[in-house]
Amino acid sequence: MHKIPVTIITGFLGAGKTTLIRQLLQNPEGRRIAVLVNEFGEVGIDGDLLRSCQVCDEDGEAIAPETNILELTNGCLCCTVQEEFLPTMQQLMTRRDQIDCIVIETSGLALPKPLVQAFRWPEIRTAATVDSVITLVDCEALAAGDLVGDLPALEAQRQADDSLDHETPLEELFEDQLNCADLVLLTKVDKVSESDRTRIETWLTQQLPHSVKVLGLAGGEGSSPVSPNLLLGFNSAVEDNLDSRPSHHDHEHDHDHDDDIIAIPIVLDQSFDPKALVKRLETLAATHEIYRIKGFVDVPNKAMRLVVHGVGQRFDSFFDRAWQPSEPRQTRLVVIGKDLDEEVIRAAIAA
């Protein structure tokens, strides 16, 4: 039987991976897609967002997304593949007659190459192949110097000092994600100036092989979804040409993420005024090394659930759906950052 093609969606925190996969599920163009979501944290925020995306059959009846979405919630995928990834893939293989392709969303803190290497395992190699690795990059964050700092200055410093070897783990992760890519999607280009977009696209192009293209995507309401024909069908067999995709961790048998980077789940039986909560979260992000805050919020006298998403000190919020009768109206957030005190973070949000 043919190998099932697998597309790996990787990218930095807040780059838009979940939004891209949501669009893919809403516009599959006849493809039967299985989605494997990896979530950093104990609260499956991204998985819940994906499950709220309704995919309808020909009769217009909603198909329960749980039937084709598998979610892992025990940490970084590249660190847990031997515990959960293999049995999950084996389960999918038993349903291969119901699946046209598989899409894997990695954690924002996951290295892509160890995941690709798992497709060399005998238990997987004969049944699945990595069709492509697609890396998402947040243009607005780069323009503001967030997360990876001033990219032109960083590149100039590296060019001036060949012995430089003190990049932060986040910078190394960013480079590894670029090095492993078959396609780079530069998201939120509508939120930066034309000169900033040109500067960032030029810099990214210089870091990539000529065969890897950079495509700019807008992120605003009403923007056109990406066609599945652009994302699927590369036929790259990535697992067979990993030597051409260098990584900072190529000479390590195992890798460890920065142990100081943690995800703190916050679950509160408490409702919040959206503006007041966002202001509180902005203050929290300004006084602590927080990379991302995301989650659902219970708003007083509102029948719908509020989604809050922050990267650095940039926060967005929107109402995504009505609270279900069977679910508790709780505020559930995940705070991802470095050197965080869980009690201090929890108290600051709940105060």
Task: Concatenate the DSSP letters of all residues of 54-88 into one string.
Answer: -EE-TTSPEE-GGGTEEEE-SS-HHHHIIIIIHHH
As averages over each run of 10 residues, the pLDDT of the chain (351 residues) reads 88 81 83 76 68 53 49 36 65 83 81 87 90 93 65 45 46 86 93 93 89 85 78 93 75 52 87 94 90 89 91 82 89 88 93 81
The set of residues, in sequence order, having a beta carbon less than 8 Å from that of 50 and lying 6+ positions away, is: 18, 21, 22, 25, 35, 37, 65, 69, 71
Out of 1.10.10.10, 3.40.50.300, 3.30.1220.10, 3.40.50.720, select the CATH number for domain 261-350. Answer: 3.30.1220.10
Residues of the chain with CATH 3.40.50.300: 4-244
Partners of residue 55 on adjacent β-strands:
63
N- to C-terminal Cα separation, the chain: 58
Quick one: tokens of 40?
Answer: 């950093």
Q: What is the pLDDT of residue 77?
A: 34
| Closest C-alpha to 212, from 269, 138, 132, 141 | 132
Q: Are strands 314-322 and 304-311 parallel, antiparallel or unpaired?
A: antiparallel
SS3 40: coil
Residues of the chain with CATH 3.30.1220.10: 261-350
SS3 317: strand
Domain 4-244 has CATH 3.40.50.300: yes
The set of residues, in sequence order, having a beta carbon less than 8 Å from that of 85 and lying 6+ positions away, is: 72, 77, 115, 118
Q: What is the pLDDT of residue 236?
A: 93
Calpha distance 278→191 (Å, rounded): 20
